[in-house]
Amino acid sequence: MNPLALAAAMNLSRAEFLAKCGQLYDTEQKEKERLKLMDLEKLALNGCLEIGLMVLACAVKDHPLRNPDQEFLCERCKKPMRIQEKAQKNTLTTTMGKFEYARPYCVCDPCGISYAPLDRAMGIPVEGHSILTCEKICQASVTTSSFGVASKNLKGLAHIEMAPKRIRDVAEGEGKILAEVAQEEVRKYQAGQLEGPLEGCADLMVVCADGGRVQSRQGFACWGECRDSVRISTSRAPEQEKAESRWKEDKVGVIYNAKAQPNRSAGKLEDYVGAKAQIKTYTATMRPWEDFGWLLRVEAERRGYTVAKQKVFIGDGAKHV
Ligand SMILES: [Zn+2]
Let me know the angle formed at the C-alpha of 10 by 4 and 15, rounded to the nearest 5 degrees.
105
Give the Å distance between the CA of 100 and the centre of ligand 1.
Answer: 28
pLDDT at 241: 56
The strands making up 310-314's β-sheet, listed across from edge to edge, are 277-285, 247-258, 204-215, 310-314
Query: Residue 202: which residues within 8 A CB-CB, separation 6 or more?
Result: 257, 258, 303, 304, 307, 308, 309
pLDDT at 48: 87
**What pTM did the predictor assign?**
0.73
Give the Å distance between the CA of 308 and the centre of ligand 1.
Answer: 47
Phi, psi of 207 (to 5 degrees): -120, 130
Q: Are 281 and 253 in contact (CB under 8 A)?
A: no
Give the Å distance between the CA of 80 and the centre of ligand 1.
Answer: 8
Give the Å distance between the CA of 130 and the centre of ligand 1.
Answer: 26
**Closest to 312 in 3D by CA, of 251, 273, 255, 265:** 255
pLDDT tens sequence across 62-74: 899 999 999 999 9
Give the Å distance between the CA of 56 and the centre of ligand 1.
Answer: 30
Give the Å distance between the CA of 132 and the centre of ligand 1.
Answer: 30
Query: Residue 173: which residues within 8 A CB-CB, separation 6 or more?
Result: 127
Give the Å distance between the CA of 111 and the centre of ligand 1.
Answer: 4
* Positions in the chain short of pLDDT 50: 1, 3-4, 220-234
Give the Å distance between the CA of 57 and the centre of ligand 1.
Answer: 29
Give the Å distance between the CA of 183 and the centre of ligand 1.
Answer: 29
pLDDT at 260: 80
Composition of the chain by helix, strand, coil, percent to 5: 45, 20, 35
The dihedral through the CA atoms of 165, 167, 171, 176 has a sign that is positive
3-state SS class at 85: strand
What would you measure as the largest C-alpha separation in the chain, in angstroms? 79
pLDDT at 118: 97
Report d(CA 321, CA 313) in Å as an integer.
Answer: 10
Q: Are 256 and 280 in contact (CB under 8 A)?
A: yes
